[in-house]
Structure 1
Amino acid sequence: MKEAVLDVLTTLLGSPWWYVALFSFSAIDGFFPVVPSESLVITAGVFAANGTTNLALVIAVSAAGAVLGDHVSYFVGRFAGAKLLRHLRTAPRRRAGFDWASSTLAERGGLILVIARYIPGGRTVTTLTAGMVGYPLYRFTCFDLLAGVSWGVYSGLIGYSGGIAFERNPILGLLFGLGLALSVTVLVEAGRWLYRRRRPESDEAEPENSDPVTSSR
């Protein structure tokens, strides 16, 4: 059974269409965060260890797709911001995420665009918010390029390290890569939780009549 799975994966990964799929899924994940683009990049990285895929090409294609997807999300926020904001007012949980992204963009600027890529659900919320609050496009593009390339390198190398560690068993290498990525995500979330716990209450308090969208323009 395992050999059959490996044969199918090797056949698919050896096809040039795999790079098209990587680009497409990485782009779609930017504005429709249900597509497991990171898992696909990690998988391609695992098989790069035995030469089935090209690691540099995997990283480049994934990063390019991610940057494109982020810009789609940005322009959706920019041109449909008012409608989205009305929807957010009826969805408290989503509104909370928007408020966090908006205030963090105002405080830290483009740095949050890089950090949010490694926070579950943070990438789309932040890029949408950047468009909604009118964050300058040239600055968005510069920071997003940094975020996209770093994400491509991170995901590709995690997979590649698993492939090297388990060269004779790519399935174990894939599980190792996915587990390592999950561990990093858990650590990031734990760090965010501790940071929020340690922040003084005065830093978290905001005037009731403040609106992150209008105050950030």
Structure 2
Amino acid sequence: MGLLDTAVTSPWFYLALFVVAALDGFFPVVPSESMVITGGVYAASGQPELWLVVVLAAVGAFTGDHVSYLIGRGSRGRVARGLRPGSRRAAAFAWAERQMAERGGLILVVARYVPGGRTAVTLTMGAVGFRPRSFSIFAAVAAVSWAVYGGLLGYVGGVAFEDDPLKGVAVGIGLALSVTAVVEGARFLRRRRGAGAAREGAEAGKVTDRVGALSER
């Protein structure tokens, strides 16, 4: 507990937050959201400053997204060719391509709340040559909304458990996981509905073919 207090209230925390948020853009195993939430929890007690937590998290995320975008842009088709069929990464990239076709740049904002979605989307946007200026606009919206969301989640937990920051961190992370679960649940239901509609369409097509065949006799 004392070590965590010292780390989060140190001025170096701001630099660490920026670096971790940036790394998370192209190395998604880094837990940047948990760090933003933790900063928000401790901000409820006065240190660190909430606005600095939000700003540095947003700038770091914006930077990381552009690194990932440039990696995708430089690799073009090599990223897709290097994916193993049936792997989670291949599935994530396939999802990113479908969502880009449906929603365009807005998917970058949505992907912020999908596990593994952010990196897949930014790499894909670079690989398909999404316009840099448009990418920067959507990346800015995504980074700011995500940083505000994480910082405020932590701040709420910090206010609720001012005397026990660890409980505040647990509450903040729990709320974030709940939001992720809701997003994933919505995606699952949508996929099921889409699959059901596709099956119904296929069955309808078969019936039409049979009727056509009978009418020709």
Give the TM-score category using the shorter length.
0.7 to 0.9
- d(CA) in 2 for partners of 1:97, 1:45: 30
Asked if 1:154 is matched to 2:149, the reply is: yes
- Contact 2:92–2:116 (CA<8 Å) still a contact in 1? no
Pick the structure with greater CA Rg: 2
- d(CA) in 2 for partners of 1:20, 1:187: 32
What is the aligned partner in structure 2 of residue 24 from structure 1?
Answer: 19
**Deviations 1:2-56, CA, capped at 9 Å, x for gaps:** xxx1x22222122211000000000000000010000011001000000021000
Unmatched 5+ stretches in structure 1? 206-217
SS at match of 2:29: coil
- d(CA) in 2 for partners of 1:40, 1:95: 28
**Deviations 1:58-112, CA, capped at 9 Å, x for gaps:** 0000000001000000010010122212212x33323332122112112211110
- Percent identical pairs in the alignment equals 55
Q: What amino acid sits opposite 1:157 in the alignment? A: L
What is the aligned partner in structure 2 of residue 81 from structure 1?
Answer: 76
Q: Which deviates more, 95-104 or 154-163?
A: 95-104
- d(CA) in 2 for partners of 1:190, 1:105: 20
Identify which of 35, 43, 48 aligns with 2:38: 43
- d(CA) in 1 for partners of 2:171, 2:13: 21
SS at match of 1:92: coil
- TM-score, normalising length: structure 2: 0.88
- TM-score, normalising length: structure 1: 0.88
- Contact 1:10–1:52 (CA<8 Å) still a contact in 2? no
1:1-217 to 2 correspondences below 5 Å: 5=1, 7-88=2-83, 90-93=84-87, 94-199=89-194, 200-201=197-198
- d(CA) in 2 for partners of 1:104, 1:177: 29
**Deviations 1:105-148, CA, capped at 9 Å, x for gaps:** 12211110000110000000000000011111111100110000
Q: What amino acid sits opposite 2:167 in the alignment? A: L
- d(CA) in 2 for partners of 1:193, 1:161: 29
- d(CA) in 1 for partners of 2:9, 2:177: 26
